[in-house]
Structure 1
Amino acid sequence: MRSIYLDHAATTPVREEVIEAMVKVLRENFGNPSSIHQFGRPVRKMMEEAREKVAKAINADPREIIFVGSGTEADNIAILGGARANKKKGNHLITTSVEHHAVLDAFKALEKEGFEVTYLPVDEVGRISVEDFKNALRDDTIFVSVMHANNEVGTIMPVEEIGAICREKKILFHTDAVQSVGKIPVDVTKINCDFLALSGHKLYGPKGIGVLYMRRGVRTQPLYFGGGQERKLRPGTENIANIIGLSVAIELAVAEMEQESARLSKLRDKLIDGVLANIEETRLNGPREGRLPHNVNVSIEYIEGEALLLTCDMKGMAASSGSACTSGSLDPSHVLMAMGLTHTTAHGSLRLSLGKSTTEDDIDYIIRELQPIAERLRAMSPVWERFQKGLPIA
């Protein structure tokens, strides 16, 4: 049976170059980078060279790169630590209604501590308004978090405009760039961010490694204690193999980004056009322009989402309905709901995220197979039957 992986937004396979680099470290460089003897010194050197590679990829200073365990951890250290460290300056925080739960849940935790949070709405394509942001600002606003690009619908946010306003008003600005680094240009100086999160396993690197960019001079509070590693924000012996793997992955991703993004954008547009043309009562979620090059998110009306995913899997197409972190939930996507979709439409959403292994032949296969899948599932759907008869749908 054919097997097509269409869930690169959830995770990516580890590149061979990354595996080779990691295996070499595991075999030859077991020393603790904090040790000053002959076994530790080379490992420290390797780690700092990796830090330089990561910094170069996002136009940062190597001293601003902190290795952590995941993008989620980077988000939490930035948001919780940044807000708490600056509480004396104010009590108001701003984020968006479509953030990843690593961000949203951190803000909910801060609300329990007494912070006030404004959750900015989005328009029909999942993008916030800069004017809405300006109107939400208060004299006591101390921290803002706006994702660079949405993990479900691929919408690219106006982070450069938001960052410029925050810098002017001396408000801390964090952006979750887990989905965008290596896919589109990411420059911390242009974004004007104080914190940025990225993750290795979205870049064909290993799981269990992420990066927190923290601008020099920014005040924050640690969440963990026990050692001086990573500017005392992520104490514990560093995972050298994963750090090296991430540095190789991000260096390759940035070097290939322009060519690969152009290739994926063409495949993305062909897939969108084919699905919308072949299957009636189908809508694109997110914008046509200003979306990630590898992201396709469509809602096939009057179909139950779980049945759609399972049937696609039976046909060799591994897809998702949204964030992998909420795949066990029966609730509709909070992103799609924030964009104004109904429960019924949101439940029938399908996220197809392309990657290095995706070919034009794969796209042709997906377009060809999705139509009969939709027809078969709709034939069993009482909601589709009511729609066909012109009856009201609850």
Structure 2
Amino acid sequence: MKTSRNICSYLLIGAMLMSIGTVAQRTPTPNDTIQSPKILNDQRVMIQIYAPKAEEVSVGGDFPVGNQPLKLTKNDQGVWSILLGPLRPDYYSYTLSVDGVRTMDPKNPIIKQGTGSLENIMALPGPETAFEDNQAVPHGQVREVWYASTTLSMQRRMHVYTPPGYEKGTGNYPVFYLLHGAGDEDSGWNTVGRAGFILDNLLAAGKAKPMIVVMPNGSMPRPSQPGMPTAQPMNRARDLFASELLKDIMPTVEKTYRTLPTPESRAIAGLSMGGFQTLDVTLSHPELFTYVGVFSSGFFGASAEEAETKYANVLNDPSFNKGKKLFWIRIGKDDFVMESNKKTLALLDKHQIKYQYKETTGGHTWVNWRQYLNEYTPLLFK
């Protein structure tokens, strides 16, 4: 037995030495020292990738350089690079394309997950990002919460923020339902949206009331039957989400957490698709939410034409305005959904629905939506 063990030990040591020798003999490449993204002192950012056999590399993201992907240039060592900016300090998402294939930046481990894709996130620090940074303040907790969806007959997940002191306290809290956009899922507001840190910083500064923030998954599962489209039709997805919110999400939250289950203690807001869902729930069930926020959204496509019929009873109800302490709408001047937004405002105006409206700079990006969240939240539950 001892001889057999000795032989095994020698074989193992020999394999390890061979492995070490192989590693030591590896030819270094420029990839070993690449840093990407590389933040420069003048607020410019260099994105780089080692792809010596590639024919074309480009990058797209929510940095303010237009909607078209930007081409990287290749040096004689096979490193592709591009210099962006100067950029305003903020958090930006981006994705590389290598010979037409969507590619993650292999040097950047920080990502945003969506329903069918991933994106890298880069941080450009500066005083402008203080409201969304991880500061030395008391922090709340963000949990992944699974629940049974009777609407979809499956287990579904949401992210739930509870404020500092919730675990050791006994009091009840108002609830803010925060909805994401198309292509994202329930982690979006907590990753690239920075919602937890934004709430922490607002609470620490005394600018907002302590609240529970519920971030559900507004994206509906893709139809599973062969030959079916890759996504639910917009109006079908809208109706499924409204059903799940009312029948599954809200009852789970109000059963699980110490909430104040009254309209005066409930708020809802959403961006893009989530804003569309917010409008739908607000005009279908006006009794549920006293505070409403719509970010970069409106009634899209055919839904704009059907809205006046679908929500006729509420639109023509003069008591609607009395039940809303806040109906808050924001959009960037360069947002591609501006036309839908304008049609929605015209419909609200026609029926004398009161709202607060402002156009900001920028387009359809998280750069705007984090700012909107930071401005909207302090107005709640006053």
- TM-score band (shorter)? under 0.3
- Structure number with the bigger relative contact order (C-alpha 8 A, sep ≥ 6) is 1
State the TM-score, normalized to the length of structure 2. Answer: 0.22
More strand, by proportion: 2
Give the structure with higher Rg (CA).
2
More helix, by proportion: 1
State the TM-score, normalized to the length of structure 1. Answer: 0.22
